[in-house]
């Protein structure tokens, strides 16, 4: 998902989408890996922005 796609999706989101409820225990192994991969990519993107901001 690109940054632009994410920004377009923001208005569709509800506060309940961020309550921490993932049903992780009911996910298949493939779904768990995809979820963890998404979290890792998000963390990396945020971390990169913070570090780039400090370099400037």
**Could you report the per-residue pLDDT of 15-32, keeping only the tens digit for each?**
887 777 778 889 999 999
Burial class (CB in 10 A: 0-12, 13-18, 19+), 21: exposed
Q: What is the pTM of this model?
A: 0.52
Share the mean pLDDT of the chain: 84
pLDDT for the residue 33: 95
Q: What does DSSP assign to residue 41? A: H
Max CA separation in the chain (angstroms)? 44
Of 21 and 44, the one with more pLDDT: 44
pLDDT for the residue 3: 78
pLDDT for the residue 15: 82
Spatial distance between the Cα atoms of 9 and 36, rounded to a whole number of angstroms: 20
Q: Are 38 and 46 in contact (CB under 8 A)?
A: no
């Amino acid at each position: 998902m690109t940054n632009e796609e994410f920004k377009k999706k923001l208005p569709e989101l509800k506060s309940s989408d961020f309550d921490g409820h993932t049903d992780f225990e009911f996910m298949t192994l493939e779904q768990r890996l995809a979820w963890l991969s998404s979290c890792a990519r998000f963390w990396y993107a945020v971390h990169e922005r913070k570090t780039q901001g400090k370099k400037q």
